[in-house]
Amino acid sequence: MQAIPGDRSVCVMVTAIVNLARSLGLTVVVEGTETEEQIAWLAALGHIEAQGFLFSRPVPVEAIPALLERFGVYGMPCRRRDGWRG
C-alpha cells in the first residue's frame, strides 16, 4: 500500500482489481493502510473496507473490545459499556 497514491501504475492496478472484485460480487478489503492519504484515495473508489497500522498495530485479544468500541464494525451495531447500540 505504500505506493498509493504516489505510483500511478500501482493505482491503475489497484483500481482494476477493485473493479474486478466488485463485478464478481466480492467485498473488497484492503490490507496495509498506513496513512489518511491512502484512505482518502481508496474512498474515491467507493466503499472499501480497510485494515492496517493506520487503525491499530497488532494487539492482544483483551484489547480488541476497545478497538471495536473505537471503530465499530461495518454493518454491525456496536454495543458500548453504557448499553447504547448504534
Residue 65 lies in a domain: yes
Number of domains composing the chain: 1
Give the C-alpha separation, 59 to 49, whole Å.
19
Of the two residues 77 and 56, the one the predictor is more confident about is 56
Q: Is 43 inside any structural domain?
A: yes
The contacts of residue 13 (CB under 8 Å, 6+ apart) are none
Q: Is 31 annotated as catalytic?
A: yes
- Torsion, Cα of 73, 76, 79, 84 (10° steps): 120
Q: Looking at this protein, which amino acid is placed at residue 78?
A: C
Better-scored residue on pLDDT, 6 or 73: 6
Catalytic residue among 31, 36, 49, 69: 31
> Does some domain include residue 59?
yes
- For residue 49, pLDDT over 70 is answered with yes
Residues 44 and 8 sit within 8 Å (Cβ to Cβ): no
Domain assignment present for residue 28? The answer is yes
Question: What pLDDT score does 54 carry?
Answer: 86
The verdict on residue 36 lying in a domain is: yes
Q: Residues 26-46: pLDDT tens digits?
A: 999 999 999 999 999 999 999
Domain span at residue 27?
8-71
Is pLDDT at 80 greater than 70 in this prediction? no
Please indicate, yes or no, if residue 84 is contained in any of the structural domains. Answer: no
In a domain, 81, yes or no: no
CA terminus-to-terminus distance, the chain? 31
